[in-house]
Every structure is written in C-alpha cells, then in structure tokens.
Amino acid sequence: MRSDHDRRDTRAPAAPPTGRAATPLISPSLANQVNRARVLQSLYDIGPLSRSDLARLTGTTRAAIGTIVQPMIDSGILAEGDPRSSGATGGKPARPLWFSPSGPSIAAVHLLPGRVEVALVSAAGDILATANGRFRPDGTDADAVVETVLDCLARVLPPGGTPPMGVGVAVGGMVDTDTGTVVKVNLAPVLDGLPLGRLLSRRLDLPVYLDHHPRVQALGDRWFGQARGVQSFASLYLADVLGVGLVLDGAVQRGQAGAGGEIGHTVVELDGRECECGRRGCWETIATDRWLRDEAVLLGLPAAPSMTTGSLARLAARNHPGAADLLDRFARNISVGIVNLQQILAPGLFILHGHAIAGGDTFRRRIEDHVQARILQHAAGPPQIVLAEASDHVTALGAAGLVLSHTLRLIA
C-alpha cells in the first residue's frame, strides 16, 4: 500500500505562480567564488590573518578555510607569512596569509583635464610604478588622449609579466558607468562622449572600469584607507571643485548609469552666486577654494588670490584679523552639505580629502561643531568627521579598489 508520502513524491512539479520569475539556486561553483571573495574581503578589512582567524571570522572550520585558500596560494594570489606564536596554548604556530607581492597587480588611471596619471598597484595596495602624460584638453583629437593613456600604461606594465587583473579609471567629470563612456568634463571638452572603457579594453584585452573621481576616492578609502571594514560612509573631495562618493550598506552609490553623486550642484541658496554649471546657488559656489579666494580678496587678506584652507588656517593661528572668522564661515558652508547628506542618508562617517586636509584639526573641529549645531538629534549620535591621511596616491588606490570591487563583486 502506498503511503501519503509516496503519493506526494509522484506529483508533477508545481508551476511557478503567475508573474513570478524562477529563482535559480546558487551553483556549487558560484558558492566557491563567493566564499573565496568573502575570505579576501576579510583580509582587506582586517589585514593578514591565519587560517584559524579566518575560520573564526567566517564561522567555519580551519579545514574549510584551507580548501578555499589553497588554490589561491597555488596560483600565487596569496602567500603565507612567517610563523607567529599561537600563544600560551601551544600547538602549531599560525602562518598569516596575505597578498603575494608577485601576484596579479592592478592598473590605475586618473584622467584629469590635460593630464593623465597612471600607476601599477599591487593587490595589497602598494604602488609599484607610476607614469604621467599630457594631452590637449580643449582639442578635438580624442584618439591622441587614448594613445597617451596607452603609452603611460605600457610604461608601468612589466613586459611579458603577469597581466594585471584589470584597469580602473577615475574621471574628474560625469561618466556613464554602464558603458564606460566619459559624458562631460567641464575643463576638458576633448573627453566629452569618449567611449574610453571600450577603446582601452579592446586594445589591452583586459577588463576596464570607468567611474567618477569622488566615487573612486571612496573605494580607495573602503579598500585601503580609513573606511576599511566600514559599511556606510561618505568620502568628500574639497578643493577647487567639490565631490562626494557615498558607500551605503557596503555598496557604492552610483544612481542610474552613474548619474548620481553630483552633490556639489545641489542648491543650497536659491538666489546664490552663479555656479560653473550655469545655475545659481549650488553648494559648490560656497564650499570650494574659489569662494575662499573671493572672500579673502574682499577682506584684503595677505596672498588672497592664492588663498587655500592651509594658508588661511596658518593666518588664523597667528591671529591675523579676519582670518579666524573667514575660516569659521568656510567650515559652516561646508557643514551645510554634510548636514543635508546626513539627514537624508545618515552615512555616519565623513572622510575629508583634498585641500581641506591642510586646514588641520582646527578646521575639522569647526566643521564638526557646525554640523552638530544643525543636525537633528538621533540615538545614532552625530556623524563623525575625519581628515583623510594625506597621500599622493589616493586616486590610484581608489582605481585599484574599483577593479577589486568589480572582480570580487562584494563592495559593488
């Protein structure tokens, strides 16, 4: 006699409910890929780790970690460090795993108006080689720009060596991240509409990823800087222009085809000053070096036409009349956009890059005070404002982070 259980087994599979797409299960090979990426993410977030450390962090056994990391050691991505003591409990000394110096590297490109900076970056974030080139920003010869980028890349890539994982390109202007095309760079019209990602990828036979400079900078913070292991934060670039890269819940925010992130052009004064973009009252009109210089000229401060946050902070420290007040007004203007961002998305951590770093901790504290005075109180507490550690290679590291994000598919 057939049981109820047998009868159920012989039924035809139920059709999916109307209007609902089938949800495929994860294949074993995809599961391996995800586990591998999670192990690498732990190393990026924390630093060199032993198999036992990784097992604890990922909630699995040391043996399971061994199975995941061994192919990466065999293929030269990871290497075992010198044994370290396992503590008072004795046992086999742990050997921390870290990225092999001879493993695959990453090519990083920063496209500026009239200039290109290229670096070769190791998977661990070391700068291995750099090269620079120039092009005519106002010209019409886009092919010459592509050749300049390729020439710089050829100078940093070791001939006959292991090809890099990919090429990350930071562009100081609007980009279409879906197609890898430069949309518009105000100071370099030669780049407008250039499908640089596709052109480079075809010539190099490598994956190439383009993104907006502040978002690339945010990825540099996330992979190699002060936001390592942090799930939500904002990375601000404050200099002659103003940009913000946002990472929320572990994903960099791009908006449709990368159109988001133009926060410098959100309006903070309806009848404010005219902006470079042709409209009025953008945040950028009151929170960049240009505003600072104009105000310094009006006040008759020394070296006003070349005033920067650093030189103003030095004047204020010497009690030069008007300097401390101007520094405070500049900090207040910067705080306005930070408050708006925090009220809408609450990233909780703001990392300041660019010329603002030279303002030092005095300037940082003034921004923080203005933010706290304007923000609605919440149990999560006020956002933290920190200065980025000054580095010549922030963008190169970010471009490397862009390639890692796409390759490992963890931080999107």
- Least distance from Zn ion to the Cβ atom of residue 395, Å: 22
* Helices 51-58 & 28-46 angle (0-180, nearest 10): 110
State how far the Cα of 376 lies from the Cα of 372, in Å rounded to an integer.
8
Neighbours of 189 (CB within 10 A): 14
- Least distance from Zn ion to the Cβ atom of residue 279, Å: 5
- Least distance from Zn ion to the Cβ atom of residue 407, Å: 35
227-248: b (≥16 Cβ within 10 Å) or e:
beebebbbbbbbbebbbbbbbe
Comparison of 219 and 282: residue with beta carbon closer to Zn ion: 282
Comparison of 220 and 281: residue with beta carbon closer to Zn ion: 281
C-alpha distance across the termini of the chain, in Å: 56
Q: Find the angle CA(292)-CA(172)-CA(293) to the nearest 5 degrees.
A: 10
- The torsion region of residue 103 among left (phi > 0), alpha (psi -120 to 50) and beta comes to beta
**Interface ranges with Zn ion (CB under 5 A):** 265, 275, 277, 282
Comparison of 248 and 259: residue with beta carbon closer to Zn ion: 259
- Least distance from Zn ion to the Cβ atom of residue 275, Å: 3
CA nearest to 132, candidates 388, 393, 354, 358: 393
Q: Find residue 141's DSSP bridge partners.
A: none
Six-digit token string for 140: 């019409």
Comparison of 266 and 362: residue with beta carbon closer to Zn ion: 266
Comparison of 275 and 356: residue with beta carbon closer to Zn ion: 275
- Least distance from Zn ion to the Cβ atom of residue 236, Å: 16
Comparison of 212 and 222: residue with beta carbon closer to Zn ion: 212
- Least distance from Zn ion to the Cβ atom of residue 262, Å: 8
Residue 146 phi, psi (nearest 5)? -60, -45
- Least distance from Zn ion to the Cβ atom of residue 289, Å: 15
Comparison of 213 and 366: residue with beta carbon closer to Zn ion: 213
